[in-house]
Amino acid sequence: DTAVSQTPKYLVTQMGNDKSIKCEQNLGHDTMYWYKQDSKKFLKIMFSYNNKELIINETVPNRFSPKSPDKAHLNLHINSLELGDSAVYFCASSQERRPRVFGAGTRLSVL
């Protein structure tokens, strides 16, 4: 059983399209995160939800909208995709301030 699962694993799309990435964790953790890793491997926090409530919202374009329907799910919707959005997006979860468990990542390529 995968602890943190993300779908899809690969996403190739045209500029201007809208896409979603889904994340689910079966660890019973209370906090979930979205990180973006660019081509230089820099891991940047985007959002964090604790028990379905948004607690971290970094400087991210409004085109990115997270949604947490319940404690075990955190989805990321991206509107009007741009070339600069190409990156690997990692979902992660943790219990309080304990170690993050990362999903396998979604490799987004915007053409």
Partner 1 sequence: QQPVQSPQAVILREGEDAVINCSSSKALYSVHWYRQKHGEAPVFLMILLKGGEQKGHDKISASFNEKKQQSSLYLTASQLSYSGTYFCGTEIAGSARQLTFGSGTQLTVLP
Does 43 contact partner 1 by CB under 8 A?
yes
Q: How far is the CB of 99 from partner 1 (least distance, A)?
A: 4
Among the listed residues 60, 65, 108, 66, the one whose alpha carbon sits nearest the alpha carbon of residue 88: 108
> How many CB atoms are located within 10 Å of the residue 49 CB?
22
Helix (H) or strand (E) holding 8, with range, is none
- Cα–Cα distance, 84 to 81 (Å, whole number): 8
SS3 84: helix
Does 5 contact partner 1 by CB under 8 A?
no
Does 75 contact partner 1 by CB under 8 A?
no
> Residues binding partner 1: what is the number (CB under 8 A)?
23
Does 83 contact partner 1 by CB under 8 A?
no
- What is the residue type of 17? N
Does 45 contact partner 1 by CB under 8 A?
yes
Does 103 contact partner 1 by CB under 8 A?
yes
Q: Which residue ranges make up the site for partner 1 (CB under 8 A)?
A: 31, 40-45, 48, 50, 55-56, 90, 94, 96-105
